[in-house]
Structure 1
């Protein structure tokens, strides 16, 4: 009997054959309950006629994939995970260990103020899970447990009222507001006491230079208020009071910015029509025309330290030590005295209206020492989550705003359910990789929270939400929720997955109506992988039909040669390729998600086109998106791969931590996920990719080792070891493999003629020691842009070759000059000695796209065959063309391969005769062309 699959083995089988976990860490009560609800063993979907192997069942051998993965594994080992956790801990008001959040999209200062923060952490957790499954290195499991533990603490903190974060103060302890926590101190009503003379004094240590963050703000709204801002629009402190809105403010402005991360003392006095602002004991502003006092405000409703009555203003980030309010104006001497000690030890004494020392080290309240017992309370601006399962690195407000939003504004709401998906996927992968029940509890809790929100919304609201560009993007959340449902069996989880139906998209694609023009590409690609999983769970046919038809709308109709799609993140009209090439083509996330969709479609329908595409995108865009360089701080993955002439790849896009860097981390740790598949009944083994690797097929008691340097080697060898088993070995014949595909088993040729774009099947009882050798000869070929046949890209076997040239216009190249009888264009290029897959042509070096360099590259070139040349013999005759651009040489070489020179000459003569008859070529020139071909010498 085959040994049971480990939890790590289940990671790549989409959570579809799950046994109750053997918990290695003490679970919480909720975690234990979630585990108890899981069915003992759920089978793979009946619709999956083919299933993948887990990452820990396929080991990468040495080669281009292992080299790229090593760079990413080094990054995964070394990057400080506390930096990724910083935004989560800050949101929950927890200590952040002084960690600095990653830049770009993952911090509060990046694009759109970090409204996507948390997404990158989810990607990183998935990378760690895949790294652990693929390598077995304990460091990755340890890091996973650290991150899951931290997120568990974050969720617990979010469930409760905020708790004081104590820090070293000016005189003792102080209360810290971590930036991103949205916490402030709420003082009781009546704190100002209706006084007509006042002194307000505070020690503050700002940690961020955001303008208009309030030290305090007392008021009812944006009409009646009194505030002190640490920085105004000019970056200096400002005090203001008004009963008639901002246009009527009576104010005091400082003269210099408060230093960050240092204690500063601020004091404001008002009495007798004069207001004075002191900074660190020095008067910096005086207004002798101040007619307003706190008495004019009455009894303000909002009495806040750190929060503004203007909702758009930032919350004060930093620490508070003493805050005092006196019902008189302190003298300059008294204010100076406050610089050297606590108020209680000064001649002024504690404030008689309010006095907070912030000496508390626990709890969520602050004692008032004024004698008025005005206990203050620590609060969040957004209150707290609507459900105990909420887990995010920002408040729930983005989700709430989306429900009423009718237009997209990513500076306000930036794909909150997309971010939720990345976190959910990460913790789910962590559970599958490590059996950590806390991770399952986090995943189940998140889905419970999402269901509690979405199930209450009218269907029309959800349809509007999911149709919004960017704001309504939800990524692959449906797939993740379906995977969780396969573990828990909870009806609520399946119901949640269906709440993400985007009916207009599903119904149009199911009817094979192409509506992709103008849509945001990566917002929609992962949706269909999720809908396939919904088909698995529900049997609803429209999900499957929609996914199949959608794929066909992208491949090849919106696909560049490298397998990528989209320009500037969006799709244009069908079959427009040349017309969409730009510096922002081929968003890397799109390729990642098209690979996921292709493999999932293959599980339902073993159409070779899916694995042909998989090879194309994997060996070109995905490999080429990772720079061949080590970096401790960055994964070095492209966002876009521009296909314009002379484009230089940017491996540190948008300040880092983009969606594509996240998926890039995942891609680089699962290169082996589709090398082998098995039939659901175990009757066949599919070899989809020729990649150095070892498969442990425990159910058969066999190990299959694939030895190759593919694609630098034009073939591969499979060696079996272990016991014996009868099954069909299915070897993929790439659609480009037109130069012959040969298979031998133990030295004997397998009969039959392999069909490019199919599978060769070898059926026998396999035994340890069997050796299968596969020869896959490469040819150099071109692929033409659908809308401009003269714009072409060059392939050698599966490898896209790009010119390295700094020119910013399309290179003009001719390739027929020395074409071989086989139709191979390679003889027209010159190999570079010592550099496999490198060639030169017309002074330009051509190299594999997958090499992650910073050379200026030309993925597309302009085909130029001005004269009729055979075997480097020039006829002197111009190469004529039809109205559609097809040239005489195109038509001649379309007959390749040729069995010999005589067959080629016959093709030349018949084609020339047809062109002369059609009036496209003069008779004399035709005879010259034929004579030239007769004299020429051709490569095989």
Structure 2
């Protein structure tokens, strides 16, 4: 089945692009046939089918006032982000159906869309959503009553981010599965939103956009592609966040300290809008952002961020120490941006990052046997990851995780009007319907450095077949029907073979690869072993994997096992020439490193691991280890006496501790600390497990006068037991939940609060 929406996009782009514009194939035209990616697709399919559509639909039915068919899921789906997984689920069903043809997926997709259409009809104004008290919330916005921060808009958890998932899911249901009812619901939802924001000024719109809102600008660009109605393109431009766009237009790096995944979808929207308007500046802003994040803020496996925020480009130390490493949602969206820029620029260098991230982050983010998706991937030595479970885990990275493994066929191949491009070396079958060209790729890459491609044609025809010469390849050799073909190109480019092809023609591609050390972008002495495009890591222990498969707690996506001292981690001691010489290959991408065994990181599961190693001369090792040992002892001692903590101003820690507030600001200081203050109030809830927490330490900056700031614990005035070193110490009651409220007593900004710790 041809997908009219996808072809509409292609036709529109060709109207203003030069002949030879790169285009992707539909998922129906590319089938993944074997290897790790096919296994990941199959495992994801089982996870998708294990979810209950009626439970995912429950938030929408509640909002519309329709009878429930099942209770909603718990976890994030019933604690403020109700309905967001339902939108992701539409996308996953549509793309997995396109990739596999599984009839049950289409049945579920049609059912989900029909139920959403009934909710929309009951609401009567085009709106459909699962946001708690949605009608009341949106009416406040329509009237211009706006109080927003990074994740809370009128004390509602990222409502535009939430509804963006539905916009995207309905779009995907139509684009990938041809669901006409989804198109109708999507247009109705878009019209409702246009009317919602019509009375708002541009300043009010920008105030709303301070709160995470996903790719809402992209959603309206897609509506314009779908309908050619200019009001949607105008809306897409109007809801583009200028505080992020303007520095990018000036090529200014203002990203440090920002919540990473809040920004990436906005930039995907900038790129799409630029293609529709011909505004090259917006596309250049997107390219600058991509270059900044992929080259100066990403680690070896392609991920970025620490505790969900962009760390300084010259200091990755917090990333090395944290159990909250790069977030999978970030890489999900960086791949979408990489794909968009590759198709726009016809530049295969974007594929080097795409491929690295696909193999090493996305593939590793799903358990290959049991299923389950990873939120954080720490690079802290000797730490581990947590996997979701279908009945307990409803995090954002579950939503994007459902989608990640449905669409592996999206960029294995691409094409221009007449020519074919082989981009990735993954076992697969291509059926280019418009040209009656079929191509079968057989490969065991990356375990064997070769790939065989066989053509099947309705009739002989002339075209250029282009084979990607990857950046990681030391050398590439291509044989056409057994005869060598000249390379005549360089890495991050294509080897072009132009001739008249016939059925049975065979191309053999051979690579030479090697292992190298890749240092962190901050030029510190931490490095990872990378073989070709594959990041290697070592299993170090299976001890204390607490919470390996997540429970339904608010913070179930975080590891609960202890942090092992970094100064006890394995290190490379010698000189630069000797580090690699310690490796001994034992075959199948496995290497011995003294007592360790290195293997592809995507194979490492159910264990603690080490991916990054410090490199030292012998003299440097002795000196730095002594300093590091002291720092680690102090840091781990503090963690040992901590029962719970909130990093103020950081999105997920505040969400996990049920932040509420009014007239509050948050930011990031030059010293690398996040903060929050208020002219009204802020509040958090901390968990006092086993009642072992005895006091709260509230760390702040500036001058704090107790008569200007009210402090309340469980709604009673708190007793201050000490003030020292820019910290207030409060006594706590023997309660399992400690509710802290901080109030400005004079309506002026309080000092900046950095961290709140409940300690033993």
Indicate how the Cα distance of structure 1 residues 815 and 58 shifts in structure 2: closer, same or farther if over 3 A, else same. Answer: farther
1:86 and 2:79 equivalent? Answer: no
SS at match of 1:795: strand
Contact 1:557 1:576 in 2 (8 A): no
1:641 and 2:377 equivalent? Answer: yes
Contact 2:327 2:375 in 1 (8 A): yes
Partner residue in 2 for 1:496: 235
Equivalent residue in structure 1 for 2:127, among 374, 389, 393: 389
Contact 2:299 2:521 in 1 (8 A): no
Q: Give the Cα separation in 1 of the matches to 2:176 and 2:522.
A: 46
1:595 and 2:342 equivalent? Answer: no
Indicate how the Cα distance of structure 1 residues 829 and 549 shifts in structure 2: closer, same or farther if over 3 A, else same. Answer: same
Q: How does 1:295-334 map to 2 (within 5 A)?
A: none
Partner residue in 2 for 1:749: 484
Contact 1:578 1:785 in 2 (8 A): no
SS at match of 1:794: strand
Contact 2:476 2:487 in 1 (8 A): no
Equivalent residue in structure 2 for 1:117, among 64, 77, 82: 82
Q: Give the Cα separation in 2 of the matches to 1:47 and 1:778.
A: 36
Partner residue in 2 for 1:69: 41
Deviation at 1:552, TM superposition (A): 1.2
Deviation at 1:727, TM superposition (A): 2.2
Partner residue in 2 for 1:300: none
The aligned length equals 589
Deviation at 1:841, TM superposition (A): 1.1
Contact 2:478 2:485 in 1 (8 A): yes
Q: Give the Cα separation in 2 of the matches to 1:687 and 1:717.
A: 11
Deviation at 1:765, TM superposition (A): 1.9
Partner residue in 2 for 1:354: none
SS at match of 2:156: coil
Partner residue in 1 for 2:512: 777
Give the superposed CA RMSD: 2.5
Contact 2:94 2:106 in 1 (8 A): yes
Equivalent residue in structure 1 for 2:257, among 502, 518, 523: 518
Partner residue in 2 for 1:605: 345
Greater alpha carbon shift after TM alignment, 128-137 vs 759-768: 759-768
Partner residue in 1 for 2:571: 812
Equivalent residue in structure 2 for 1:445, among 188, 209, 215: 188
Contact 1:58 1:696 in 2 (8 A): yes
Equivalent residue in structure 2 for 1:54, among 20, 26, 36: 26
Indicate how the Cα distance of structure 1 residues 840 and 396 shifts in structure 2: closer, same or farther if over 3 A, else same. Answer: farther
Deviation at 1:817, TM superposition (A): 10
Partner residue in 1 for 2:73: 102
Equivalent residue in structure 1 for 2:582, among 825, 828, 848: 828
Equivalent residue in structure 1 for 2:407, among 670, 682, 686: 670
SS at match of 2:350: helix
Q: How does 1:615-654 map to 2 (within 5 A)?
A: 615-630=355-370, 636-652=372-388
Indicate how the Cα distance of structure 1 residues 805 and 533 shifts in structure 2: closer, same or farther if over 3 A, else same. Answer: same
Contact 1:15 1:432 in 2 (8 A): no
Partner residue in 2 for 1:485: 224
Partner residue in 1 for 2:105: 140
Indicate how the Cα distance of structure 1 residues 62 and 844 shifts in structure 2: closer, same or farther if over 3 A, else same. Answer: same
Deviation at 1:432, TM superposition (A): 2.6
1:839 and 2:585 equivalent? Answer: no
1:889-916 Cα offsets, whole Å, 9 max, x none, are xxxxxxxxxxxxxxxxxxxxxxxxxxxx
1:570-629 Cα offsets, whole Å, 9 max, x none, are 112234334533221211010010000011001121233210000110000010111123
Q: Give the Cα separation in 1 of the matches to 2:314 and 2:463.
A: 41
Contact 2:264 2:330 in 1 (8 A): yes
Contact 1:455 1:496 in 2 (8 A): no
> Structure 1 length as normaliser, TM-score?
0.60
Indicate how the Cα distance of structure 1 residues 702 and 486 shifts in structure 2: closer, same or farther if over 3 A, else same. Answer: same
Q: Give the Cα separation in 2 of the matches to 1:852 and 1:419.
A: 32
Deviation at 1:829, TM superposition (A): 2.6
Equivalent residue in structure 1 for 2:302, among 563, 574, 595: 563
SS at match of 1:555: helix
Deviation at 1:666, TM superposition (A): 0.5
Greater alpha carbon shift after TM alignment, 703-712 vs 535-544: 535-544
Equivalent residue in structure 1 for 2:396, among 645, 659, 681: 659
Equivalent residue in structure 2 for 1:710, among 436, 445, 454: 445
Q: Give the Cα separation in 2 of the matches to 1:500 and 1:101.
A: 31
Q: Give the Cα separation in 1 of the matches to 2:190 and 2:528.
A: 45
Q: Give the Cα separation in 1 of the matches to 2:338 and 2:243.
A: 22
Indicate how the Cα distance of structure 1 residues 879 and 105 shifts in structure 2: closer, same or farther if over 3 A, else same. Answer: closer
Deviation at 1:477, TM superposition (A): 2.2
Q: How does 1:141-220 map to 2 (within 5 A)?
A: 141-159=106-124
Q: Give the Cα separation in 1 of the matches to 2:326 and 2:531.
A: 21
Indicate how the Cα distance of structure 1 residues 781 and 744 shifts in structure 2: closer, same or farther if over 3 A, else same. Answer: same
Structure 2, unpaired ranges of 5+: 542-563, 624-760
Deviation at 1:483, TM superposition (A): 1.9
SS at match of 2:9: coil
Partner residue in 2 for 1:538: 277
Partner residue in 2 for 1:921: none
Q: Give the Cα separation in 1 of the matches to 2:66 and 2:402.
A: 28
Deviation at 1:491, TM superposition (A): 1.9
SS at match of 1:117: coil
Q: How does 1:265-304 map to 2 (within 5 A)?
A: none
Contact 1:578 1:791 in 2 (8 A): no
Deviation at 1:753, TM superposition (A): 4.8
Q: Give the Cα separation in 2 of the matches to 1:45 and 1:664.
A: 35
1:728 and 2:464 equivalent? Answer: yes
Deviation at 1:656, TM superposition (A): 1.3
Deviation at 1:493, TM superposition (A): 1.7
1:432 and 2:403 equivalent? Answer: no
SS at match of 1:565: coil
Q: Give the Cα separation in 1 of the matches to 2:97 and 2:186.
A: 19
Q: Give the Cα separation in 1 of the matches to 2:252 and 2:7.
A: 30
1:247-283 Cα offsets, whole Å, 9 max, x none, are xxxxxxxxxxxxxxxxxxxxxxxxxxxxxxxxxxxxx
1:583 and 2:323 equivalent? Answer: yes
Q: Give the Cα separation in 2 of the matches to 1:676 and 1:45.
A: 22
Contact 2:313 2:521 in 1 (8 A): no
The structure with the largest helix share of the pair is 2
Partner residue in 2 for 1:691: 426
Deviation at 1:397, TM superposition (A): 3.3
Indicate how the Cα distance of structure 1 residues 772 and 863 shifts in structure 2: closer, same or farther if over 3 A, else same. Answer: same
Deviation at 1:15, TM superposition (A): 5.4
SS at match of 1:462: helix
Contact 1:63 1:709 in 2 (8 A): yes
Q: Give the Cα separation in 2 of the matches to 1:504 and 1:537.
A: 22
1:71-126 Cα offsets, whole Å, 9 max, x none, are 111122232211111111122222212x232222111xxxxxx2221111010110
Q: Give the Cα separation in 2 of the matches to 1:747 and 1:826.
A: 35
Partner residue in 2 for 1:16: 9
Indicate how the Cα distance of structure 1 residues 745 and 866 shifts in structure 2: closer, same or farther if over 3 A, else same. Answer: farther
Contact 2:63 2:129 in 1 (8 A): no
SS at match of 1:644: coil
